[in-house]
Amino acid sequence: MKISISNEQFSLSLFKIPYFWDMKIGYLTKQDPENKKAYSGTHYYMYRSLQRAFDEVIPLGPVDSAYKFVPKLTGKVRSLISGKTYKYQYDRGLAKRMAAAIDKKIIETNPDVIFASLMSPETAYLKTEKPVYLTSDATFPLLHDLYKSHSNLHPKSIKNARYLEQKAFEKATKLIFPLQWLADSAMKEYGIPARKIEVVPYGANLERTLTADEFEEVQSARMTSNTIIKLIFVGVRWEEKGGPFAVQVFRELQKKEIPSELWILGCKPEIPDKPEQVKIVGFLDKSVPKEQEELFRLYREASFFIMPTKAECVGMSFIEAASFGLPAIGTETGGVPEAVIHDQTGFIIKPKDSPKNVADWIAYSWFDKKKYEALAEKAYQRYQNQMNWNRWGEALKQIVK
């Protein structure tokens, strides 16, 4: 039988083809993606990036289950008996119930593609046949190695965490990691093939950063300044983020009789014999416009960003610093060496480096204006070209295409 299709019928049929830019994206998060405080704003800014890149984005979160009181209670008993921490978030029974709730939402909303953010345990048992793209700022083995919160875990939690992460990574159509460090871990620990992984850096979780013109203005002001070196530290957990080391670096600058200040944001630590040049600002809520503007002002006026952290995965604060063209000082841990390129966009502190070594580098870089200019411009260019949410969304669109 010969089938005849008119030009008009053919033209109309084209509009029924689901082009990638018309795709409906189901955005899966455990918390509300409209909440700027959830996961330091990552869910929120990722959501906005997806909305700019795709025609329609449907939030599938927040996701919760009343069942979680069972593993919570069981975990307390196990922790009490063993002296080790039981993480109820890795309970398989909870993961199954969360997955069932998510599958129900997927059926109700019928997205073309699922994009899951930091949801490895919950996606492990998904039954949906829709393509699932999964992003995470860590793998469990790396968390287990780096963080105290994961260093004394109950054997059952370790077993469950690895099992669920393996299952989730295998379920995913693609894994979208912000760092090669994470991609390497997924390949090494779980045997995930490289072809299934994409590395796309995250952006800065800020409502406002410097435009190119504003950067030129700020850079000009910094270049003509020979007065005070202003160090900015941003961290909620003072000890873990290396606050005491940052103070020691500041004291070394004082010994050199170099006019300097240290601004501490995110916490209010007790500092013995605190010099008046150490300014404790405390926590600034990015969801409050006035406090967001104050954060913006402090970043603009700073000379260097310093966070000698003991444990770090993505290092979102380093990305924020780069968005203001600030040379950054971080440590040789986790993903920091990917966020800061040693002696190009900042300084990577190695175990052998003392506070004096770091202070020497800061002083040299500040008074050699060509050196400082190169550091700041390279940091800002990396933010503009690689580490921003617009680029992340566009890259994801190409990956889905």
Cα separation, 240 vs 32, in Å, equals: 27
Cα separation, 69 vs 23, in Å, equals: 37
**Summary mean pLDDT of the chain:** 92
Cα separation, 151 vs 130, in Å, equals: 36
Q: How many CA atoms lie within 13 A of 102 on its CB side?
A: 34
| pLDDT tier, 59 (very low <50, low <70, confident <90, very high otherwise) | very high
Cα separation, 311 vs 240, in Å, equals: 7
The answer to whether residue 242 scores a pLDDT higher than 80 is yes
The answer to whether residue 399 scores a pLDDT higher than 90 is yes
pLDDT value of residue 6: 39
What are the Cα distances from residue 307, in Å, to 146, 239, 270? 16, 11, 17
Q: Give the tokens for residue 154.
A: 């109950």
Q: Stretch 300-325: mean pLDDT, rounded?
A: 95
| pLDDT tier, 145 (very low <50, low <70, confident <90, very high otherwise) | confident
Q: Could you identify the residue written with the tokens 């159509």? A: 173
Cα separation, 24 vs 326, in Å, equals: 38
pLDDT value of residue 227: 78
Residue type, 92: R
Please indicate whether the domains covering 16-201+389-400 and 212-385 agree at the CATH topology level. yes
Q: Give the tokens for residue 88.
A: 């109820």
What are the Cα distances from residue 230, in Å, to 65, 128, 279, 302? 47, 52, 10, 5
- Phi, psi dihedral angles at 168 (to 5 degrees): -65, -45
Cα separation, 160 vs 400, in Å, equals: 30
Cα separation, 203 vs 258, in Å, equals: 34
The answer to whether residue 9 scores a pLDDT higher than 50 is no
pLDDT value of residue 2: 37
What are residue 348's DSSP bridge partners?
330
Q: What is the DSSP string of 22-61?
A: GPEEEEE-SS-TT-TTGGGGHHHHHHHHHHHHSSEEEE--
Domain coordinates in residue numbering, the chain: 16-201+389-400, 212-385
What are residue 305's DSSP bridge partners?
232, 328
The domain defined by 16-201+389-400 folds into: Rossmann fold (3.40.50)
The percent of residues in the chain predicted with pLDDT above 90, rounded, is 86
Q: Does domain 212-385 have CATH number 1.10.3720.10?
A: no
pLDDT tens, residue by residue, 174-220:
999 999 999 999 999 999 999 999 999 999 999 989 999 999 999 99
What are the Cα distances from residue 284, in Å, to 36, 268, 288, 297? 13, 11, 8, 12
Q: How far is CA 201 from the centre of its chain?
A: 9
The answer to whether residue 258 scores a pLDDT higher than 90 is yes
pLDDT value of residue 223: 83
